[in-house]
């Protein structure tokens, strides 16, 4: 909150900032060109934390990295020969990311929505997802009213209005589109999906009008923390992978993964790499999954989140990084047994990576996941 003292102008700061990222401070009301010292309260006194200089309007901005391991901090600005500003107070906390598995807005889920309303499949988890700072999942269907089903065993397609519900009611922020169903109704429907996801206010990764667009990282900012998402599919029906001049999905080759994650890490504090991979109904990851996860981690990924097996696979902590090989089905017309077991992976992110991870168990019944209390 703004604070003021005679001759010192004003200093302001956000009330809450993500742990481990620089704190943005703003000041005004000092003589143009003034040199200032930014001080942090430490050990009963004030210690210099940064320097700043006012512009021609007597305003300045500076980013300060807090010293110490506390969660609450105080800062003030000092101009030589003038009283310091009153201290601005702020606190830091981790940014929460909820990651979920496969979301299918067509097939049996569409039938349930037709009977019970578009909110119903989300109604057992929406409150939990909305409570997170960021919610992420794998959208395993096309969303379009155009195109023809391509020859394959299963073709999934949802209606555009279901995306608005996913965003506004369920709080979904990011969808991975790199999978073996986004292209089920051809490239026109795939591009509709990319466009409609964006129009709904959700960031889509892993698909686009060409390979460069499909591979592009998408960045979400929360409390000053920059989280970059990239998506790759290792399950690639003929005609699905994007090319230099062809719409499609981003293929999970080791070289593409390494290049894409490194690019994302240059733009963000935390990188989440999403993969569509593995063997359906296998409860353990295979060598290919482990190899691609290793490529992503070595390139700078902080979290690796997988889908496609339709069952849960292990979640592994590796220091300040985490690998979830498969989060199973989520909003899905699951049958019973292992395919109906699911969960929400809640990660606590800081500027130093993954500070906490836990799987909140849930179970699917009638295309509706609900948290197991």
CATH, residue 73: 2.60.40.2470
Same domain assignment for residues 333 and 314: yes
Same domain assignment for residues 114 and 124: yes
Which pLDDT does position 5 carry in this prediction? 41
DSSP structure class, residue 272: E
Rounded-to-integer distance, Cα 15 and Cα 23, Å: 10
What's the distance, Cα to Cα, between the start and end of the chain in Å? 39
Same domain assignment for residues 85 and 196: no
Looking at 39, 70, 93, the residue that finishes a domain is: 93
Domain count of the fold of the chain = 2
Which regions in the chain score pLDDT beneath 50?
Answer: 1, 3-6
Cβ–Cβ contacts within 10 Å for residue 201, how many? 13
Rounded-to-integer distance, Cα 195 and Cα 175, Å: 12
At 244, list the tokens.
């230099």
Cβ–Cβ contacts within 10 Å for residue 5, how many? 16
Same domain assignment for residues 132 and 216: yes
Looking at 93, 118, 147, the residue that finishes a domain is: 93
What backbone phi and psi angles, to 5 degrees, belong to 131?
-75, -15
Which pLDDT does position 7 carry in this prediction? 56
Same domain assignment for residues 26 and 175: no
Same domain assignment for residues 71 and 161: no
Same domain assignment for residues 238 and 289: yes
Same domain assignment for residues 246 and 176: yes
Same domain assignment for residues 123 and 226: yes
Angle at 14 between CA 5 and CA 24, to 5 degrees: 90
Same domain assignment for residues 186 and 227: yes
Rounded-to-integer distance, Cα 265 and Cα 302, Å: 9
Q: What is the distance, to the nearest Å, from the Cα of residue 364 to the centroid of all Cα atoms in its chain?
A: 23
CATH, residue 151: 3.60.21.10
Same domain assignment for residues 160 and 61: no
Looking at 38, 62, 93, the residue that finishes a domain is: 93
Q: Give just the sign of the alpha carbon dihedral 82, 85, 86, 89.
A: negative
Beta strands in 301-352 (DSSP E): 303-307, 315-318, 321-324, 329-331, 341-350
Same domain assignment for residues 105 and 47: no
From residue 248, alpha-carbon distances to 139, 183, 236 in Å are: 15, 7, 10
Rounded-to-integer distance, Cα 205 and Cα 161, Å: 20
- Render pLDDT for 87-142 as a digit per residue (tens, 0 to 9): 999 999 999 999 999 999 999 999 999 999 999 999 999 999 999 999 999 999 99
Domain range enclosing 62: 3-93
């Amino acid at each position: 909150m703004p604070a003021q003292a005679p001759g010192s102008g004003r200093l302001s700061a956000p009330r809450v900032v993500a742990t481990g990222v620089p704190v943005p401070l703003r000041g005004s009301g000092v003589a143009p060109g003034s040199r200032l010292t930014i001080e942090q309260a430490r050990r009963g006194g004030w210690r210099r934390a940064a320097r700043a200089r006012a512009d021609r309007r007597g305003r300045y901005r500076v980013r300060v990295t807090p010293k110490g391991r506390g969660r609450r901090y105080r800062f003030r600005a000092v101009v030589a020969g003038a009283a310091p500003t009153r201290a601005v107070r702020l606190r830091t906390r981790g940014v929460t990311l909820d990651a979920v598995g496969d979301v299918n807005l067509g097939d049996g889920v569409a039938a349930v929505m037709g009977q019970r309303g578009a909110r119903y499949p989300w109604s057992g988890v929406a409150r939990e997802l909305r409570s997170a700072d960021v919610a992420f999942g794998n959208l395993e269907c096309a969303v379009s009213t155009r195109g023809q089903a391509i020859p394959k065993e299963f073709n999934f397609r949802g209606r555009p209005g279901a995306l608005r519900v996913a965003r506004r009611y369920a709080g979904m922020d990011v969808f991975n589109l790199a999978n073996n169903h986004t292209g089920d109704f051809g490239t026109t429907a795939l591009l509709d999906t990319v466009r409609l996801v964006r129009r709904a206010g959700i960031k889509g990764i892993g698909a686009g009008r060409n390979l460069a667009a499909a591979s592009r990282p998408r960045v979400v900012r929360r409390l000053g923390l920059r989280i970059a998402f990239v998506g790759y599919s290792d399950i690639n029906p003929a005609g699905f992978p994007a090319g230099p001049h062809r719409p499609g999905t981003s293929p999970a080759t080791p070289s593409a993964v390494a290049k894409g994650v490194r690019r994302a890490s240059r733009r963000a504090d935390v990188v989440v790499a999403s993969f569509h991979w593995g063997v359906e109904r296998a409860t353990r990851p295979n060598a290919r999954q482990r190899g691609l996860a290793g490529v992503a981690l070595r390139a700078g990924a902080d979290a690796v989140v997988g889908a496609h097996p339709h069952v849960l696979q292990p979640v592994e902590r590796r220091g300040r990084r985490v690998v979830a090989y498969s989060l199973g089905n989520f909003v899905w017309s699951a049958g019973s047994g292992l395919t109906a077991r699911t969960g929400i992976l809640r990660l606590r992110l800081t500027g130093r990576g993954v500070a906490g991870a836990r799987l909140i168990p849930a179970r699917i019944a009638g295309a509706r996941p609900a948290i197991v209390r």
